[in-house]
Amino acid sequence: MPKNQRKLRIYISADALALLKHLDYPCSEEVLASAKRVEGLEDEGLDYELSGTRDDFESLAGWVAGDANHADRRQKRKLALLLALSDALESVL
């Protein structure tokens, strides 16, 4: 299997998942469809597993980084979620 087609996983909070759904990036449909609740990571603030290919996550990382760079700095919660998503995505790439 080509490297860019291997399945990767990230773990995110319920709030981060809700933000991704709200932002509705063109590349996020398959990744969002993969969301499944996980047990045992709640203490770390991680509620969901998302899976996708390297290509899926690279595309999503670009959209998230772009929004984080242009986010209104007064929207601290949204910015924190975008940065957490960016970190999660970059950690698997």
What's the mean pLDDT when you consider all of the chain? 91
Element (H, E) at 22: helix 14-23
Per-residue pLDDT of 3-48, as tens digits, reads 677 889 999 999 999 999 999 999 899 999 999 999 887 777 788 9
- Alpha carbon of residue 42 to chain centroid: 17
Q: What's the pLDDT score for residue 73?
A: 84
**Which residue in this structure is represented by tokens 């709030």?**
15
